Amino acid sequence: MGRAQGHKTRDRNKSSLPQVPKNMKYDRMSEEYAQELNNQISREEQALANAANQRNQGNNG
């Protein structure tokens, strides 16, 4: 096996993209679900904060 054969193999691999590992793949559905879940959590946190504010205003007034 001469040096030229090694270079030929390497150059042939450059023409095609390598396989992407699973942990680097982009899953659009997962991102949409994560955003929806985050929005739900934010609404719940906002509702809890509003309830706490109303309790505090009731105690002060």
Cα–Cα dist 7/15, whole Å: 13
* Element at 24 (helix H, strand E): none
Residue 11 scores a pLDDT above 70: no
Helices (H), 1-61: 3-14, 28-60
Enter the tokens of residue 19. Answer: 């396989």
The model carries a pTM of 0.45
pLDDT for residue 45: 94
Closest by CA to 43, choosing from 31, 32, 51, is: 51
The pLDDT tens digits for 14-54 are 666 667 777 777 777 777 888 888 999 999 999 999 999 99
